[in-house]
Chains A and B, each alone.
Chain A
Amino acid sequence: MDTFSSVQLLYLLKGVGWTLVLSALSFVLGSVAGFGVMLARVSVHRPLRILTSAYIQIIQGIPLLVLLFIVYFGVGIFGINVAPLVASAVALMIHVSAFLGEIWRGSVQAIEKTQWEASECLGLSRWQSLILVIIPQALRMSLPPSVGYLVQVIKLTSLASVVGFVELTRAGQIINNSLFQPFLVFVLVGIFYFLLCYPLSLWSRAMERKLNVGNR
């Protein structure tokens, strides 16, 4: 039987790399979609708001794992072969869009109504006011919770291991299958996740402190 060596360590590090790739992909795609969700949620068109609200309720009410199964196995039924990375990224994108969309909607709606008034009284349209006045302020406000949510996303990518995408968790499983040293392997995996997430948490908290000072 093999023992844990640099070969396994390298394999785990490669897993870290793929975890980062999947996290980045999910977060970027989810941000783009989430921005659309936010815009729809603050739209003046009631049907659009209701529709998006339903979308958010549904996505937030489904476990990511199930969403992942739907995209990976469900779509596979129709003869479309979805690569594990693509399926994971799509499922995560949908999931992230619903949550980030809500975080950003909250920020947009937290901007005082008087900012809208001031902007529209200068002759700017609703859309211009949103893009030029409201969203820049809301974005600043939503930065700490958004980065905080990125930490969640990194941890959520571990679910991609179930559809066979070899990221950090799956890499740990594969190594453990040959070494049978679950404690060592998964503690290491845990440490790697922590090392990825902790700096982001610190960053998020630091930003929050800075923003609060600015608001005082």
Chain B
Amino acid sequence: MSAIVNVRDVHKKFGDNEVLKGVSFEIERGEVVAIIGQSGSGKSTALRCMDHLETINSGSISVCGHELGTGTVNLRELRKDVGIVFQSYNLFPHLTVRQNIMLALKHVRRLSRDECNSKAEYVLDKVGLAAKADSYPEQLSGGQQQRVAIARSLAMEPKVMLFDEVTSALDPQLTGEVLKVIEDLAKGGMTMVLVTHEMSFARRIADKVIFMYQGMVWETGGPEILTHPETRELQEFVGTGL
């Protein structure tokens, strides 16, 4: 099996509210997958389950060989392989950009100071923020903060990167600079899963699109399903979204 992520019949409840009702999909190595759908369709929850930020009630998830079922999970090993970027950036406000990136390199990867430093500079250069290494997050724009968050995740050399509505808090101009970084990563062959509302972006870079509706995978296929949707629900969704 070359699938790097395998989600099988996952059910997830928050109290009485079932947000995932038997979700299944696969993601191949090097694939860029966009998960789209209305708010409340379960797309963010599905993504968070892949990094074990949410535990599932039944079914199974395998990510880079880690089984995230209902049993115990070696989180440290899982998170060496999986990177995640959040809508609200979640940079550490008490640390500089450089320190934000170096923290986990030092304490998780156990790299030397010099290695951490050169790694930080390398990833910052990749997101176009080498000049901001010694700024604090609060001194940066939202778009810059999000690029730092991507760099921080990237520095850990994950096998899969998850993006949870990473541009939803940004204005169109700042959105553009973040999407460009993600696009560069896609070209570099990174396996990525994006929960996004940017339909045109999804159509441009995604190899596969998963449309979720009311906690289920409703329609899935190549990016062409965004222009030629089969189900009425996706037709309505892209109709309002574009």
Contacts and interface: CB of A to CB of B under 8 A. Distances in A.
A125 interface: yes
A137 B103 contact: no
A114 B90 contact: yes
Given A114-B86, A117-B90, A214-B138, A122 B156 contact: yes
Interface string A135-176: 011001000000000000000000000000000000000000
User: Helix, strand, loop or mixed for chain A's interface?
Assistant: helix
B108 A122 contact: yes
A93 to B, nearest CB: 29
Interface in B9-60: 51, 53
B214 interface: no
Nearest to A128: B107
Contact of B86 (A118, A124, A125, A132): A118
Given A114-B86, A114-B88, A121 B94 contact: no
A119 B80 CA distance: 12
A139 to B, nearest CB: 9
Interface string A88-111: 000000000000000000000000
Contacts of B156: 122-123
A123 to B, nearest CB: 4
B90 A118 contact: yes
A133 interface: yes
Given A114-B90, A117-B90, A118-B90, A123 B76 contact: yes
B90 A115 contact: yes
Contacts, number: 53
A208 interface: no
B93 A137 contact: yes
B107 A121 contact: no
Q: Interface size bucket, B side? A: 20 to 34
Contacts of B75: 120, 123
Nearest to A116: B90
B79 interface: yes
Contacts of A120: 75, 79
B108 A124 contact: yes
B107 A124 contact: yes
Interface residues of A, number: 18
B92 interface: yes
A123 B84 CA distance: 11
Given A114-B86, A122-B79, A214-B138, A133 B108 contact: no
Contacts of A114: 86, 88, 90
B191 interface: no
Contacts of A121: 51, 53, 79, 82-84
A50 B225 CA distance: 55
Query: Which of A122, A124, A132, A137 has the most chain B CB within a 10 Å cutoff?
Result: A122
A123 B80 contact: yes
A118 to B, nearest CB: 4
Interface string B206-231: 00000000000000000000000000
A107 to B, nearest CB: 13
Contacts of B103: 122, 124, 132-133
Nearest to A121: B84
Contact of A125 (B51, B76, B84, B109): B76
B238 interface: no
9 contacts: A114-B88, A122-B103, A122-B108, A123-B79, A123-B80, A123-B104, A123-B156, A124-B107, A128-B107
- Ranked nearest first, the 10 interchain pairs of A and B with the lowest CB-CB distance are A118-B90, A122-B104, A123-B108, A123-B79, A114-B90, A136-B94, A121-B84, A137-B94, A123-B80, A123-B76
Interface of B: 51, 53, 75-76, 79-80, 82-84, 86, 88, 90-94, 103-104, 107-109, 138, 149, 152-153, 156
